[in-house]
Amino acid sequence: MEIIWYHPSQDPDRWLNGLRQRLPQAQVRQWQVGDKGPADYAIVRSPPAEMLTDRKLRGVFAMGAGVDEILQQLRDNPAMLPETVPLFRLEDTGMARQMQEYATWCVLGWYRRFADYRQQQQQRHWQPLTPPARDRFTVGVLGAGVLGRGVLESLRQWGFPLRSWSRSPKSIDGVETFHGPEQLAAFLSDTQVLIDLLPATPETTNLIDTPLLNQLPRGACFLNLARGAHVVEADLLRALDSGQLAAAALDVYQTEPLPAAHPLWSHPNVMMTPHTAAITLPDEAMDFIASAILTLEQGNMPDGLVDRQRGY
């Protein structure tokens, strides 16, 4: 079994040694320009087209939960990877827990009004503040996949009303579920905290715009843990300036790194992180990939198979 690996920035030694330990029967190598040698599987992030073109691969593994980048590469260069070669994404591998941590910190911070206290601290003003009614502080999650469900699970213990919206019907214990375009308005109508965990697809590009944000209750909060392409940033800024949104926490942006002159940097009601809400954890990712390869070797299909038409 031959495995080729490529990542533009991560340490190859850690990955190559880890994969060899987990798959001692395999020959694992870092792909380099000009490498035309045999390969059964490829493990990649932002692979050059040359790496995958004209190979008889049995599977390709993207080193992340999102596959919009490699799917865009395939749209630009369809010959890079035939439809017959299965493409897999990381389903969790420790990312769900990181998303849970981030989302819980934001939701509790907004509920307990810690940003208001921070402002009072700067003004040396002593004034206890009353949090909103817990039973009306509804948290809505856009997306009901592994990460969306994980965030909902982590918030259940705090007693907030929870709801989710997804493309197709879902059933989640303790969560009011909505699906399809016809139920989006009802989902948004009472959502005090909107969390975006949708996949990147043509349908979700620029989904979060002025018409959508105006369907939230005035003074709602917004958290984006998914993709910057989902948000029309000018509309988001208008919603913050007008008070339609009270606050936003953003981990992803239309352009990354975010340009230095972008007004999001200095907006008083925006908290930002540099696309670090959930990073790929090498050991967990290698465990998943090694197990998936062994499943394929046994003639079965592992979890994480990407539907290229749906985009995830």
Taking Cα atoms as reference points, which of 78, 51, 47 lies closest to residue 308? 78
Indicate whether this model's pTM tops 0.75.
Answer: yes
Q: What angle do CA 196, 198, 202 make, to 5 degrees?
A: 125
Residue 223's alpha-carbon distances to 40, 46, 99, 113, 273, in angstroms, are: 40, 26, 11, 15, 11
Three-class secondary structure of residue 234 per DSSP: helix
The answer to whether the bond into 132 is cis (omega within 30° of 0) is no
Q: Is 125 a catalytic residue?
A: no
CA atoms within 13 A on the CB side of 7: 15
For 224, the token pair is 């984006």
Q: How far apart are CA 68 and CA 74, in angstroms?
A: 10
Cβ atoms < 10 Å from Cβ of 290: 19
For 238, the token pair is 């208008």
Q: How far apart are CA 89 and CA 288, in angstroms?
A: 10
Indicate which residue of 22, 97, 275, 308 is catalytic: 275
pLDDT in tens, the chain (312 residues): 999 999 998 899 999 999 999 999 999 999 999 999 999 999 999 999 999 999 999 999 999 878 888 998 998 998 899 999 999 999 878 899 999 999 999 999 999 999 999 999 999 999 999 999 999 999 999 999 999 999 999 999 999 999 999 999 999 999 999 999 999 999 999 999 999 999 988 899 999 999 999 999 999 999 999 999 999 999 999 999 999 999 999 999 999 999 999 999 999 999 999 999 998 899 999 999 999 999 999 999 999 999 998 888
For 226, the token pair is 């998914």
Q: How far apart are CA 161 and CA 243, in angstroms?
A: 23
Count of helix runs (H) and strand runs (E) in the chain: 10, 12
Indicate which residue of 149, 163, 227, 230 is catalytic: 227
